[in-house]
């Protein structure tokens, strides 16, 4: 039960910090010897908990974008949420276009400590070069922003590669301010996480044994939600303060250790 709760806590904390929750969960599941257990249902519930955090945290943004986008089909004068909604959809489409073909590769390498470590090292390098990226200011269209950030999110399906880190870095690279890069990063994560959750739910229907839930799963899901909310709030403060080096050094240490143990 303690091991299960730790997995939930790590998902909640790492899902929003640019340190790769998938990489940390893969390392912990290997360390706890969960390799023989089918945790599809458990992973699905943890992801539902963290996407709920995003929906609550960005509730007003989500409602306004949905209102403007759906209303845009009937209004002569379209509001800002119309274009923003399309940007989220385009980014999500590109994420699926890249991420879906990589699913088999991801499933194969997720159990490898070595490959997870390589992903974390890549994340570390991205975090360490963000200060250089953020100094460049470009006047990019919302379409170009959606394309670049969507591609970055697609690449981040690889274990050890941070979704939030990649998308925020891509947003800064294409010209977004820090606050807007943070906002866009997490808003486009909602369709991506819901889509991935749907695929996992379909996987459960095909494999009845995937419905297995470890002891203490409910406490783990609650822990993922509570700690996830705190983590997202902390993440925003650190992003606005541009404390990227902390995450870079952390990922470099954990990634190097994972590669050493995986050799």
The pTM (predicted TM-score) of the whole model is: 0.90
Confidence of residue 62 (pLDDT cuts 50, 70, 90): very high
Neighbouring C-beta atoms of residue 175, cutoff 10 Å:
17
Domain ranges of the chain: 2-262
Task: For the chain, give the number of residues.
Answer: 263
pLDDT tens for 219-254 read: 989 999 999 999 999 999 998 888 888 999 999 999
Looking at residue 97, what is its pLDDT?
Answer: 94
Mean pLDDT, rounded, for 96-118: 87
Measured over the CA atoms of residue 240, residue 10, residue 52 and residue 222, the dihedral's sign is negative
Check: CB of residue 51 under 8 Å from CB of residue 197.
Answer: yes
Residues 158, 172: Cα–Cα separation, whole Å: 21
* Model confidence at 153: pLDDT above 90: yes
pLDDT for residue 207: 66
Distance from C-alpha of 51 to C-alpha of 46, rounded to nearest angstrom: 9
Q: What CA–CA distance (Å, rounded) separates 185 from 252?
A: 23
């Amino acid at each position: 039960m303690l091991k299960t709760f730790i997995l939930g806590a790590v998902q909640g904390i790492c899902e929003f910090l640019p340190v790769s929750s998938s990489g940390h969960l893969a390392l912990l599941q290997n360390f706890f010897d969960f390799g023989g257990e089918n945790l599809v249902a458990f992973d699905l519930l943890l992801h539902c908990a963290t996407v709920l955090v995003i929906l609550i945290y960005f509730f007003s943004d989500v409602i306004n974008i949905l209102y403007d986008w759906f209303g845009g089909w009937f209004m002569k004068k379209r509001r800002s949420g119309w274009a923003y909604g399309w940007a989220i959809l385009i980014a999500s489409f590109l994420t699926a276009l890249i991420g879906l073909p990589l699913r088999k590769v991801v499933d194969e390498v997720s159990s490898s400590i070595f490959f997870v470590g390589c992903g974390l090292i890549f994340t570390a390098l991205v975090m360490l070069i963000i200060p250089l990226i953020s100094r460049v200011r470009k006047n990019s269209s919302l379409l170009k922003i959606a394309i670049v950030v969507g591609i970055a999110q697609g690449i981040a399906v690889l274990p050890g590669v941070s979704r939030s880190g990649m998308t925020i870095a891509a947003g800064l690279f294409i010209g977004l301010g820090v606050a807007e890069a943070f906002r866009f990063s997490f808003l486009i994560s909602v369709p991506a996480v819901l889509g991935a959750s749907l695929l996992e739910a379909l996987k459960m229907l095909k494999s009845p044994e995937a419905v297995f839930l470890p002891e203490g799963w409910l406490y783990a899901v609650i822990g993922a939600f509570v700690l996830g909310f705190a983590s997202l709030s902390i993440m925003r403060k650190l992003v606005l303060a541009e404390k990227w080096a902390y995450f870079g050094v952390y990922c470099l240490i954990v990634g190097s250790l994972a590669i050493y143990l995986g050799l």
